[in-house]
Amino acid sequence: MKKSLVLGFVMFLLMMPLVIAEDTEVKIKTAPDVEVQMGVYISGSEFNSDSLIESYTGNSDQYGDIEYDFEIERDEFNLMVFVRREGEDTIMKKYLDETSGELVYYEIDSNGIELTPTPGFENGVAIVEEGIEAINETVNETGIVNETEEEASKIVGKVFSVFGDEGVLSKKRIYYIGGFLFLVVIAGFVVAGIKHKISAGPKEIQIKKLSELRKEQKENLDDKKEDIEDYRQEIEDAEKKIAEAQADIKKIRNSEKIKEMKKKIAEDEAELNRLKEGRD
């Protein structure tokens, strides 16, 4: 149970940045080829190192544009921008209470230099031609009315209204929904573990009387005594077999000596007889 809770809490901490963090795109338009430093700070606090969330430094492109995606885990933030150009004074701008998860776009004049328009962009957003309206105009010119295309345009509009930044399923809401579902899953695991513990019930504890314990001890002691007696009997039997084998070996050795002595006596008698016959 404790392991499940700890594991769930650790997983929740690991998932927190993924659930809450918002990708916030910050775009700055200024003079071309200048150094731009952007710093994101906690909303409602002073602009200092303690309240700094994240910073980025880079150079603007040929149109004077520079952009960066900040991961911000708060609903609002403060922004401070420095524009530095060699041989000129540094320009500093502060912007308060910006909304996380939305495009932040500002234009900063660099010592009177005229800003260069970026082709295909307006206020930091790409210009998209509305193809559906162009199709409808073409159809009207030829005198053909296509109701299917009108219905398609309505459907597309509804889809964008659902998934857009202000729609029902915006990025921020999707993050919150994902975090809520994750917490529901963790809670489900915890509840399942508790139910399993309850259904399993406590382990049965067997309590024995002192007399029963003594009886078991006595039986175990008797069994050990019988084992010892059997072991002693086996040792005695082995000793008897060894003694008998030694006696048999002794008998064999004695019989061999008797045979040798008889053979020696026979040889001596034969020698004695030869000597007697030679003397006669």
Check residue 157 and give its pLDDT.
52
**Angstrom distance (rounded) from CA 157 to CA 107:** 31
**Angstrom distance (rounded) from CA 216 to CA 98:** 81
Could you read off the pLDDT of 179-229 as tens digits, one per residue? Answer: 778 888 888 888 787 777 666 655 555 666 677 778 888 888 878 878 888
| CB-based contact 47:77 (threshold 8 Å) | no
User: Do the bridges between strand 76-84 and strand 91-99 make them parallel or antiparallel, or are there none, so unpaired?
Assistant: antiparallel
| Tokens read off for 232 | 């002693």
| CB-based contact 64:47 (threshold 8 Å) | no
Check residue 255 and give its pLDDT.
80
The winner for highest mean pLDDT among 10-24, 124-138, 158-172, 206-220 is 206-220
Supply the mean pLDDT for the chain.
Answer: 77
| CB-based contact 48:78 (threshold 8 Å) | no
Could you read off the pLDDT of 17-54 as tens digits, one per residue? Answer: 444 567 899 999 999 999 999 999 999 999 999 999 99
| Tokens read off for 101 | 């998860």
**Beta-carbon count within 10 A of 40 CB:** 25
Q: Return the SS3 of 36.
A: strand
User: Do the bridges between strand 35-42 and strand 121-122 make them parallel or antiparallel, or are there none, so unpaired?
Assistant: unpaired
Q: Is the pLDDT of residue 142 over 70?
A: no
